[in-house]
Amino acid sequence: MSVLQRDPQDMLRVLEEDGTPVGEVPDLSDDELVTMYREMYLARHFDTRAVSLQRQGRMGTYPPLSGQEGAQIGSAFALDEEDWLFPSYREHGAALHRGLPLKRTLLYWMGHEKGNRIPEDVNMFPVAVPIATQVLHATGAAWAKKLQDEDAAVMCCFGDGATSEGDFHEGLNFAGVFDTPNVFFCNNNQWAISVPRERQTASATIAQKATAYGFEGVQVDGMDPLAVYAATRAAVEKAKNPDEGERRPTLIEAVQYRFGAHTTADDPTVYRDTDEVEEWKKKDPIPRLEAFLRETGRLDDEKVEAIETSVKDEVAEAIEAAESEPRPEPSEMFSNVFAEQTPEIRAQAEAFAEMYERHGDEGFLRE
């Protein structure tokens, strides 16, 4: 029986908090499991460095992901190459698994348009900063794949807060009606900035909302990367090859916690207790997977150390590369608005260029 065929209130789990298996371990090779660990570790380290860059004034506002690596890497791992990811603004971990260079992620949060340019070979949309708007795009993209007879699933990531927006309802409703190959992946990290999950919905779970749209909803331990992988993999397979009478879309609610602030502009100590944070830290997905991999002989001190060293080098190189990137040419503001520049935009660009010629940066840059 598929792991998706369960009561939406019955949370799927593969690993205990101490890494002991309590469910069926997904069929992944040793290398894949170690890679999963490495990417989670990388996402955490990247996150720590990014927050510190912001604190040092080397980057703008940044939304941290610590605590959510298991959900992000576990779900992205379940996608096939032809599948698509439609992220929110916090999916730096899922994005790195999809192949988005870390440098791009850094550039985006450093205010460079180039950071929003997804490489041609990466099946991923730019981040969505408004809440839940990407849900409809993901439904439409999956619908297109179906109408074009292409065998690809589209995964959309969003938070618990997003489930309150009208776009969430509309996106899932269309998906149900048109039976689109979607995986709706809700990173329920308990807090929409300062507003707790209980204030978003009176439903016992978010997963159960799927029932009303006519497809399966499953709640998974979002800090258990193997459970996340198992559920997402089953959902991806069903999206592309449903059984007779089965609907393609799935809603996955990955129950997790953001250890840090909503963004670097936020102070979570104002609205939540440190005790709560400490409780959730016991479920940390990284030591959890590490314990399992050590226990089963897939990791040892030497391998962990090698991973740590290579990850630190990789992140340091990405930061150096991003910081060496020259500031974009001011004239780039006027490009890519339309396929062809309109006469008015051309005139404004020319007027700007003349003024820039006369004044240089001094005429524009503030302290």
Partner 1 sequence: MSQSQQTQNLTLVQAVRDGLHTEMTNDDRVVVMGEDVGKNGGVFRATEGLWDEFGDDRVIDTPLAESGIAGTAIGMATMGMRPVAEMQFSGFMYPAFDQIVSHAARLRTRSRGRFTCPLVVRAPYGGGIRAPEHHSESKEAFYAHEAGLKVVIPSTPYDTKGLLISAIRDPDPVIFLEPKLIYRAFRGDVPEGDYEVPIGEAAVRREGTDVSVYTYGAMTRPTMEAAENLEEDGVSVEVVDLRTVSPMDKETIVESFEKTGRAAVVHEAPKTGGLGAEITATLQEKALLHQEAPVERIAGYDVPYPLYALEDYYLPSVARVEEGIRNAVEF
Write out the catalytic residue numbers: 258, 262, 271
CB of 364 to partner 1, least distance (A): 5
CB-based contacts of 282, cutoff 8 Å, min separation 6:
17
Q: Which of 40, 115, 47 is nearest to 263 (CA)?
A: 47
CB of 228 to partner 1, least distance (A): 23
Please count the residues of the chain: 367
Which of 194, 310 has the CB closer to partner 1? 194
Q: Is 194 in the site for partner 1 (CB under 8 A)?
A: yes
Q: Is 340 in the site for partner 1 (CB under 8 A)?
A: no
Q: Is 99 in the site for partner 1 (CB under 8 A)?
A: no
Which of 16, 323 has the CB closer to partner 1? 323
Q: Is 353 in the site for partner 1 (CB under 8 A)?
A: no
Q: Is 161 in the site for partner 1 (CB under 8 A)?
A: yes
The DSSP output letter for 131 is S
62 to 31, 42, 52, 90, 261: CA distances (angstroms): 32, 17, 10, 9, 10
Q: Is 167 in the site for partner 1 (CB under 8 A)?
A: yes
Given the rule CB under 8 A, which of 11-19, 147-155, 161-169, 212-220 is the region that contacts partner 1? 161-169
Q: Which of 177, 195, 204, 212 binds partner 1 (CB under 8 A)?
A: 195
What are the backbone angles phi and psi of residue 201, rounded to the nearest 5°?
Answer: -155, 145
Residue 188 in contact with residue 156, Cβ under 8 Å?
no
The DSSP output letter for 343 is H
Given the rule CB under 8 A, which of 93-101, 160-168, 233-241, 312-320 is the region that contacts partner 1? 160-168
Q: Which of 26, 70, 115, 260 binds partner 1 (CB under 8 A)?
A: 115
Which of 113, 317 has the CB closer to partner 1? 113
50 to 79: interface string for partner 1, x by CB under 8 A: ----------xx------------------
CB of 29 to partner 1, least distance (A): 38
Q: Is 125 in the site for partner 1 (CB under 8 A)?
A: no
Residues 27, 33, 35, 40: what is their CA dihedral angle, to the nearest 10 degrees?
Answer: 110
DSSP H helices in 163-300: 166-178, 209-213, 225-240, 274-281, 285-295
Given the rule CB under 8 A, which of 9-17, 117-125, 248-256, 342-350 is the region that contacts partner 1? 342-350
Residue 62 in contact with residue 92, Cβ under 8 Å?
no
DSSP H helices in 148-213: 166-178, 209-213
Residue 73 in contact with residue 224, Cβ under 8 Å?
no
What stretch of H or E contains 347? helix 343-359
Q: Which of 237, 266, 314, 323 binds partner 1 (CB under 8 A)?
A: 266
Residue 160 in contact with residue 189, Cβ under 8 Å?
yes
Q: Is 269 in the site for partner 1 (CB under 8 A)?
A: no
Applying CB under 8 A, which residues contact partner 1?
60-61, 89, 108-113, 115-116, 127, 129-131, 161-162, 164-167, 192-195, 199-201, 265-266, 270-271, 327-328, 330, 332-334, 337, 342, 344-345, 348-349, 352, 355-356, 359, 362-366
